[in-house]
Structure 1
């Protein structure tokens, strides 16, 4: 059994994780610890506070006792708002506190795009413009080109129809993959249908967070129901 730990901010789309665990269909356990979110907003200042060391380390003890082999800060915005170097320092501090390999959803998007061999992507977000721009900068720093970025500014979870509409709104013939970076979006049940409709890989926050934890634990799981990312051979070396 491989146990993987996730620090998840608040409560929104955490039910994606038991669904993903079921879809993995293997001896993998996903353990979530909910972190305090403070101000529930997508402002830059609120997101920086969301990923503060105090909030992250508060949940680390629970993950250690769960037997987790790796830990992922399951939040994109609470990572990329610190910039490329700041986000690296954030996960280094998390790794030291946990005594485990660590990463974040923001880095997971970059590494997943590299795993798929895609560079020119479209991003559909529920962030305001300034936060979406920071995610675009983060992707560029990691060698991924966000050719289209849509910032709707609509904070909070959305239903299936809204998720599909968001993905369609940023897609185009020259786009190699579509990225949906909000962990508050319920997407685990929709990835194959999204990829079939768009004809390309779709990367979503909770999906890539799990893939990243598996990568850190050196596990490869074939799970077509989780999209193209989970049907690739074998793991590439990214850092």
Structure 2
């Protein structure tokens, strides 16, 4: 059967085209992923509104015990309400589904802790407004953001469509990550579950000598570890090889 070791449910923003393919690539043998989509518009209000669809999505993914874990797969969407917002979302999912639940923000914190990182440089596909929000919340959570650059820094928030992010190639994530890397950051975080980046993690680590994490990579890593699956995966960074 598919998912004989584990079946992981993904709550995915409706216009995200990257999360599901990347999560499927990251899944070890006999781990299957299944997604439910929630309505999303790429605005601050849209990020906040996603929580109103979580109950329905979690109920779908837990129907007849389909999934053993459900992950809320949006980075800023799982931190937009402040430092403890990821925990609130995880509780909402658990209450609706009675399954283990995680979020991308929860996974980012777990990954950085496992890597013993406090100073992080961030590369994103966002506008300046969203970057300012994400940087502020990361700092409230206890991290020093040494630099943050967004591919769409030049756009007004209302001009950005999520499909514009999903169409970006991994090379764009690579260039942004190299641009933010400096002398004091301990790691590089490529943020956004709709930003294709898992292909360039190893290359960046080899060139910078620092761990590199991405939103989908940490979400899968934390989901697996939360289920007791400790597989070491090659090709997707130090996090999966050593932690």
Q: Calculate the TM-score normalised by the size of structure 1.
A: 0.87
C-alpha separation in 2, matches of 1:108 and 1:185: 16
SS, match of residue 232 in structure 2: coil
Aligned to 1:62: 60
Deviations 1:166-190 (A, max 9, x none): 1111101221110011111112222
Aligned to 2:135: 136
> Where does structure 1 lack aligned partners over 5 or more consecutive residues?
234-239
Q: What is the aligned counterpart of 1:20 among 26, 29, 32? A: 26
Aligned to 1:166: 176
Aligned to 2:189: 179
Aligned to 2:96: 97
> Contact conserved, 2:120 with 2:187, CA < 8 A, in 1?
yes
Aligned to 2:7: 3
The alpha-carbon deviation at position 152 of structure 1 amounts to: 3.5
> Contact conserved, 1:81 with 1:131, CA < 8 A, in 2?
no
Deviations 1:41-73 (A, max 9, x none): 2x3212111x223x1222223321363211110
C-alpha separation in 2, matches of 1:190 and 1:58: 35
Deviations 1:191-224 (A, max 9, x none): 2122222221111111111112113212212012
> Contact conserved, 2:10 with 2:72, CA < 8 A, in 1?
yes
CA RMSD of aligned residues (A): 1.8
> Contact conserved, 2:54 with 2:92, CA < 8 A, in 1?
no
> Where does structure 2 lack aligned partners over 5 or more consecutive residues?
154-159
The alpha-carbon deviation at position 147 of structure 1 amounts to: 1.4
> Contact conserved, 2:125 with 2:195, CA < 8 A, in 1?
no
Q: What is the aligned counterpart of 2:35 among 22, 32, 35? A: 32
Q: How many residues align?
A: 225
> Contact conserved, 1:83 with 1:134, CA < 8 A, in 2?
no
Aligned to 1:227: 237
- Aligned pairs for 1:142-157 (under 5 A) are 142-153=141-152, 155=160, 156-157=165-166
C-alpha separation in 2, matches of 1:140 and 1:107: 15
C-alpha separation in 1, matches of 2:94 and 2:130: 26
